[in-house]
Chain A
Amino acid sequence: MIRKVLLTGLSLIVASLMIVGCSDKAKDASKPAAKYITIKGSDTMVHLASAWAEAYMKAHPDADISVTGGGSGTGIAALLNGTTDICIASRKIKAKEETLAAEKGLHPNEIVTSRDGIAVVVNPGNPVTELTIEQIGKIYTGVYTNWNQLGGQDHEIVILSRESSSGTFVFFQEHVMKKKDYSPEAMLMPSTSAIIQSVTQDVWAIGYVGLGYGVQAGDKVKMLHVKNDENAPAVVPSVATVQDASYGIARPLHFYTDGVPSGMTKDFVDFVLSDAGQQIVLESGYVPIN
């Protein structure tokens, strides 16, 4: 009995060793050099980065790219710890992080890959169609609480925001709310789709979503026309207006690498910035750089 078990075990081990050996050999044959890079960071950019990686791997069958999310902060931390080749970030690197990098002897190199507009959405039943950035900021900080303060009807404003872990939350706070705190009445939704869902149902709600999501939602939500200030023209959020910088609530999407990229990382960055790479940006609902 025991002998039988031992024999079976032994043969299993031998068999698995053989399989491992074979696959190793096969790998060696198809991949002569180590062509492997990792990309990590912003959840906003994960889909886009995966689309780039897929297209690149299709063109270069020997290349291997792994893409993971976790947030811009997570990505920058990974770059500082040397655990990723490329960090994707929907915000700029902070001064604090740059000092940390310098201490470790790293030189974060910023590459703008594409842009993302943030659409402010309301229910189609809401008569308000345009607001200034200042007005939007004051809604989110809790200064305006009723639509009649903004030329609308006498109804309380339902404020919808993303969760505080979102890079978009921080971007919106910095650039639209001028670094003031969110109103305690602001409802923090776990995802972009939850914001769309609520704006669809609640006539007096206001929310912010990535341009791609806003366009995708179609008639279910109304994207507000945004004025940069009182006297500026109201601008419809679109790929064109984000590209020519006339739409005020937009941000660049970055790559961060340690020093100027070389080898396969450079090749990949070049691909991303090429026409083919920028075409993917457009198809993914983001805005190409030129």
Chain B
Amino acid sequence: MNRWQDKAIKTILVGSASTSILIVFLIFVFLGKEAFPFIRDPGFDALWHTRWIPVSFKEEIFGLIPLISGSLLVTSLATLLMIPFGVFGAIYIAEIGSEVERSILKPFIEVLAGIPSVVIGFFGLVVLSPIIKNLFGLNTGLTALTGAILLALMAVPTVITVSEDAIQSVPRAYREASLALGANRLQTIFRVIVPAALPGIIAAIMLGMGRVIGETMAVLMVTGNAAKMTLNPFDSVRTMTATIAAEMGEVAFGSHHYQALFWVGIFLLLMTFGLNLIAQKVLRKYQMR
């Protein structure tokens, strides 16, 4: 009886633990199945066009390049913004701030992490975009930069939490040795602790980037969604996620447009998958030390 129960419970636990593996696998299969016919008919090369014109009376064009470049521009800008806030914030909370400050700061960071992205997007549309427009004297505030600021805002809690863990797990002995050798507090932090925690901090940034590249609602609302290739932060861009969200709703099933949207999904999945993989690798390396 007991052995039978043990077995049953074990099976249930293994089953629920491996569900996520199964789901990831099924998602890949599903995306591939829906996207695959595109390779045969318009051909894989059709995806490397520099224009994305899904609705046209003349010729529909499904070039992924403007969408990928839009996502990369927004993601890299957001990363540049979130590194100082995330990393310095983590250093302050882990090393400098008092117990009282920590107990105030941490809950607020957690609240920030929990704000729905639609709410952040609405804030961006109504508050941030006019500020950006006036600050830089632009024609419109719906730019890649506006999106990047919102995304940085959403990713900073992740970066802070993970980097803080990394900084905290630097052995006490490092700190004491450095101070004993006559280094002051700032020198200890920036020459000893941060380098020791660097792999963890890098992993934190990677995880933050993963969040940024996959975020949809906020960028859909504030980046203007013009599908053009640009490296100018003050230009409007169309990200991969926004494209899927905006167009999947009314696309005819099985059409080239539908298949092209699945290709966008596949590339997006590969990008986040790659980022997560690198982050995991770096984190594991750092845990071994």
Contacts and interface: CB of A to CB of B under 8 A. Distances in A.
Nearest to A74: B250
Contacts of A73: 250, 252
B230 to A, nearest CB: 10
Interface stretch (A52-60, A162-170, A244-252): A162-170
A158 B141 CA distance: 11
Given A73-B252, A184-B227, A187-B142, 19 more contacts: A71-B249, A71-B250, A73-B250, A158-B140, A165-B246, A165-B249, A170-B55, A173-B56, A173-B57, A174-B57, A180-B57, A184-B66, A185-B236, A187-B226, A188-B224, A189-B224, A190-B220, A198-B140, A205-B140
A163 B228 contact: no
Q: How large is the interface on B (under 10, 10 to 19, 20 to 34, 35 or more residues)?
A: 20 to 34
Contacts of A173: 55-57
B249 to A, nearest CB: 5
B55 A184 contact: no
Contacts of A194: 125, 221
Interface residues of A, number: 35
A164 B260 CA distance: 14
Interface string B130-142: 1001000001111
A169 B221 CA distance: 18
Most chain B CB inside 10 Å of its own CB: which residue of A73, A182, A187 = A187
A73 B51 CA distance: 24
Contacts of A204: 139-140
A21 interface: no
Interface string B44-56: 0000000101111
Interface string A239-281: 0000000000000000000000000000000000000000000
B58 interface: yes
B68 interface: no
A183 B236 CA distance: 13
Contact of B53 (A181, A202, A203): A181
B221 to A, nearest CB: 7
B58 A198 contact: no
B176 interface: no
Given A190-B246, A194-B221, A202 B55 contact: no
Contacts, number: 86
Tell me what chain B mostly uses at the interface: helix, strand, loop, or mixed: loop
A56 B220 CA distance: 38
A97 to B, nearest CB: 10
Contacts of A174: 57
Contacts of A185: 226, 228, 236
A230 interface: no
B247 interface: yes
Interface in B46-85: 51, 53-58, 66
B225 interface: yes
B269 interface: no
Nearest to A187: B224
A182 to B, nearest CB: 8
Given A163-B247, A194-B125, A201 B130 contact: yes
Interface in B189-247: 220-221, 224-228, 236, 238, 246-247
A184 B125 contact: no
A203 to B, nearest CB: 8
B129 A155 contact: no
19 contacts: A73-B250, A74-B250, A163-B225, A165-B246, A165-B249, A173-B56, A181-B56, A184-B66, A185-B226, A187-B140, A187-B226, A187-B236, A189-B225, A190-B225, A194-B125, A198-B140, A201-B129, A201-B141, A205-B139
